[in-house]
Chains A and B, each alone.
Chain A
Amino acid sequence: MTMSTSDTDQFHDLLDHWENLREQGQEPCVEELCRDAPHLTEKMREWVRVLKMSEWMCKRADDVADETFGEAGKLSAEERSKHQVIGEYTILEELGSGGMGRVFKAVHRKMNRQVALKLLPPSLMPSPESIARFDREIQALAKLSHPNIVSIHDAGEAEGAHFYVMDLVDGNDLARLVKENGPMPVEQAIDCILQAARGLECAHAQGIVHRDIKPSNLILDQGGTVKILDLGIARFQPTAESSDDLTKTGCVLGTVDYMPPEQALNTRSADHRADIYSLGCTLWFLLTRQSMFAGDTVMERIVAHRGYPVPSLQKACPAAPPWLDALFRKMVAKKPDDRYQSVTALISDLTQRSAPRNGWWLKVAAAIVSLLLLAGLSFLFHGETTQEKPRKTDSESTGTNNAEAILVDGKHLCFMENKWAQGLPLLAKCGDVELRKLATADMEENASTRDRLRLGDRWWDFAGNEVGAVWKGSQMRAAYWYRRSVPVLPRRRAEVEKRLKDIGEQPPGFEVVTRRAQVFPDDSHGIARSTNLLLEVIKNETTSDGAVFAGLELKGVRYLTVAVNASQKIERLAHLSFAGFIIDYRTGSDYVKRVALGIDTFDKRKRKGEKPLWGKHDAVDEYVDLGRHALYELDLQQWAPSGWDGQMWFTVALQHVGLGTAVTAQLMPLTKQQEPKPATGETEPENVTHARP
């Protein structure tokens, strides 16, 4: 033992020594330790007593790491790279990490072959079923052999961590290449997309969809071959089955820049055309070094993919020929039906168009096609097909104007310069503000479930184009949101109202339709959570604070993600209804404070001996209504959206309410108002086992 000069140094050296001996399983005697420094014995005894009690502080770090990566997680990255042996493989170094785990360079000990080994976190394999599914999937993937696919040739489990083994590709992924070297030349980008498409063609033929195509999953090797990485693995990303993981950015949310709209709605329902969309987004990135839709937040980009017009590739990359722009647009069409229906078709188109055109017949054919296209366009412009109009407008006005608004009483729509709504009856027009009427069938009392669903969808679509406008009674309590613009509708409120009166149209009123859900025993957990959410809101009085928006945004996206991935309607409804609540959260409206938080109602209920609102299992539907109430209660004088995050958040919350209403209608067709099922006799939430979906 090295003795230091000062007592302090000596004391701490002794402590180190004591701890080392403890780690070796010994129980050193303090007196023995301090034999050469007896004056330190008493102090040492006291420290040893206290440090022994504090050993839980040392254990905690290990435990937490263990939760993330199992036994393998106990090692730091450096230790792991030096010492770890996983199955038959010895880890050499860490190559990278992401939401799906860590990738190591490893060597097979017997074959002495270098491979890439991906270690998946245990959270991806929450149950024996998912492990079995993983094994089956790996078996299928192992059969794939294509020069443009990184082959998987082994998989297994070691110390609680699942892993699979791939070819080690000597090259860089396209994301890194573009980030380091700038946008690719058009020819090279086309070649990369073509190669990736060929790999996908092979996978799709085997029924395997990638679902996470992005530049960082495409590796360009030294020989110029593009190889697809992680094929078929995306489906093991956390889903609603493990909702704890849903908000782990980097997992579900990490790849939204390349995620098609339908996949944001339901990952499992996305088919091979989702890969085509993602490949289109990848093409955009390769040529521009940017994501197709800019946005500071995940949610902003999700909504953009769903609702924003496709930007012009030619504008962003002037070197791109017009045909490539057209091809790109077809790849990234919002609706899967409008895209290439197979990668084979895409390859065929890409190959033909990118090939040199020397033959005279090609020129003639091109001229004929152009004429036909012109004729077609002419027909569209003069015909009654209004659906094509917004596309033209959208492409002309990407992200700059073309404002819209939606009137969410279900009866009227208020638009500004919105071409989509041109087929609807125009009630009033004030400058560039238009008030239009929805088809009456939408909200009639006897409207069919299908009509209501359609309305929900429509809200979704409209809201996806960034809008919010609300009328109530004789007042327009409108909120208008549009990308980086200033509120317009509120300033025009008086003007709009006057015009409405001039034409004898009363501003639409809002009828409270109380729907009562049946008993939802599974919802008490969620209800408690949303209650908690509300309590937080009121404590956080910083509703105009951009930072609060950011947190809410995550929560909103989480609810959205859970809801769209929910396999059960009840579950979906519950999550959608929470989103309605988040509107309250954002606005902090008096109505919500009064009703939902219960300054009035809750106390009254309590005095009457009733259970609080959130203690009732049939209250889920009330939440949807409450969310809607809050929406209608927006007071623009107090409502001061201060950041883009907040505005976007509200938009998504609006979508939630629309969808929530639609789903509610689907579950419980509104025939007559039903009395709520008495809460009495129901299990109290405290006693409920919180069955998680």
Chain B
Amino acid sequence: MTELTSQTAGWLDLMRSGDSDARRRLIEHACERLRGLARKMLRQYPRVHRWEETDDVFCEAVTRLHRALETVRPELPRDFYNLAATQIRRVLIDMARRYYGPEGIGSHHDTAAVNLKGNAPPKHDRADLSGEPSGLAEWTEFHEHVEALPEEVREVFNLLWYEQMSQEEAAKVLGVTTRTIRRRWHESRFRLQKACLGEPLPE
């Protein structure tokens, strides 16, 4: 077990025994991951950045995780990582919807630098050249596609992408070989990219 995983296991034990500090540490850990992802997403979108600070995202994630950990008591680190990744994903999805949904403030506020007259900003801030989601709407879809991955594959994607673990670390957490991890990692990327491209999966 890696240092991080054993630390997480220890926190989970403590949390189950009622240690609120352990819960705080678990939440902090997840939020640190979230912060980096959210910051990168928002940095590309100045109009959203105007309203949203990554710390706001952070606070919302804390709220969600706090609530989730009250109702769900993960037994193992892998359970916690799955829970955290799910919550992180949902925060990011909601964040995007908040601005571009029908009642999102991004839809009702005008940013002169982009659009002086129209009320609804364009959906995408920049062109898609790399295959990476290029607008918050696409990011929303991306996170939703992750939700739809088969469980085994999603679990690996959670650890490698959301938790940013190495393949070796993920293998230890899941108790499988790194070869299996690589295989599932390939599969998750393949499925997600196909979904982002709107292409059907091969038979």
Task: Identify B2's interface contact among A58, A68, A78, CB under 8 A.
Answer: A78
Please give, as numbers and ranges, the residues of chain B lying within 8 Å of A185 by CB-CB distance: none
Distance in angstroms from B36 CB to nearest chain A CB is: 4
In contact, B28 and A53 (Cβ under 8 angstroms): no
Whether A513 is near chain B, meaning CB under 8 Å from some CB there, is no
Q: Per-residue CB proximity of B55-89 to A under 8 Å, as 1/0?
A: 11011101110110010000000000000000000
Please give, as numbers and ranges, the residues of chain A lying within 8 Å of B137 by CB-CB distance: none
Task: Identify B182's interface contact among A12, A50, A55, CB under 8 A.
Answer: A12
Task: Identify A54's interface contact among B32, B63, B192, CB under 8 A.
Answer: B192
Interface of B is mostly: helix
Chain B residue at smallest Cβ distance from A94: B3
In contact, B62 and A554 (Cβ under 8 angstroms): yes
Chain A residue at smallest Cβ distance from B36: A64
Complex Cα distance, B149 from A547, in Å, reads 29
Whether A51 is near chain B, meaning CB under 8 Å from some CB there, is yes
Whether A15 is near chain B, meaning CB under 8 Å from some CB there, is yes
Q: Per-residue CB proximity of A370-381 to B under 8 Å, as 1/0?
A: 000000000000
| Known pairs A247-B59, A551-B60; A67 contacts B36 (CB<8 A) | yes
Please give, as numbers and ranges, the residues of chain A lying within 8 Å of B32 by CB-CB distance: 68
Complex Cα distance, B164 from A63, in Å, reads 10
In contact, B186 and A47 (Cβ under 8 angstroms): yes
Chain A residue at smallest Cβ distance from B20: A296
In contact, A51 and B183 (Cβ under 8 angstroms): no
Whether A686 is near chain B, meaning CB under 8 Å from some CB there, is yes
In contact, A60 and B40 (Cβ under 8 angstroms): yes
Whether A595 is near chain B, meaning CB under 8 Å from some CB there, is no
Distance in angstroms from B6 CB to nearest chain A CB is: 12
Which A residues, 658 to 693, have Cβ-Cβ distances below 8 Å to chain B? Answer: 684-687, 690
Whether B124 is near chain A, meaning CB under 8 Å from some CB there, is no
Whether B198 is near chain A, meaning CB under 8 Å from some CB there, is no
Complex Cα distance, B162 from A69, in Å, reads 17
Interface of A is mostly: helix
Please give, as numbers and ranges, the residues of chain B lying within 8 Å of A686 by CB-CB distance: 50, 109-113
Q: Per-residue CB proximity of A499-540 to B under 8 Å, as 1/0?
A: 000000000000000000000000001001101110110000
In contact, B190 and A51 (Cβ under 8 angstroms): yes
Please give, as numbers and ranges, the residues of chain A lying within 8 Å of B63 by CB-CB distance: 547-548, 550-552
In contact, A249 and B28 (Cβ under 8 angstroms): yes
Please give, as numbers and ranges, the residues of chain A lying within 8 Å of B197 by CB-CB distance: 50, 53
| Known pairs A46-B202, A296-B20; A56 contacts B130 (CB<8 A) | yes
Distance in angstroms from B72 CB to nearest chain A CB is: 12
In contact, B186 and A51 (Cβ under 8 angstroms): yes
Chain A residue at smallest Cβ distance from B60: A551
Please give, as numbers and ranges, the residues of chain B lying within 8 Å of A550 by CB-CB distance: 62-63, 66
Whether B13 is near chain A, meaning CB under 8 Å from some CB there, is no
Please give, as numbers and ranges, the residues of chain A lying within 8 Å of B112 by CB-CB distance: 684, 686-687
| Known pairs A249-B28, A551-B59, A554-B59; A53 contacts B52 (CB<8 A) | no
Q: Per-residue CB proximity of A451-480 to B under 8 Å, as 1/0?
A: 000000000000000000000000000000
Q: Per-residue CB proximity of A613-654 to B under 8 Å, as 1/0?
A: 000000000000000000000000000000000000000000
Please give, as numbers and ranges, the residues of chain A lying within 8 Å of B36 by CB-CB distance: 64-65, 67-68
In contact, A64 and B37 (Cβ under 8 angstroms): yes
Whether A362 is near chain B, meaning CB under 8 Å from some CB there, is no
Whether B16 is near chain A, meaning CB under 8 Å from some CB there, is no
Please give, as numbers and ranges, the residues of chain A lying within 8 Å of B119 by CB-CB distance: none
Additional A-B contact list (19), CB under 8 Å, known A64-B37, A554-B59: A16-B179, A51-B189, A51-B193, A54-B193, A56-B131, A57-B189, A64-B33, A65-B36, A68-B32, A244-B53, A244-B55, A249-B28, A532-B51, A532-B56, A536-B60, A547-B64, A554-B62, A558-B59, A687-B112
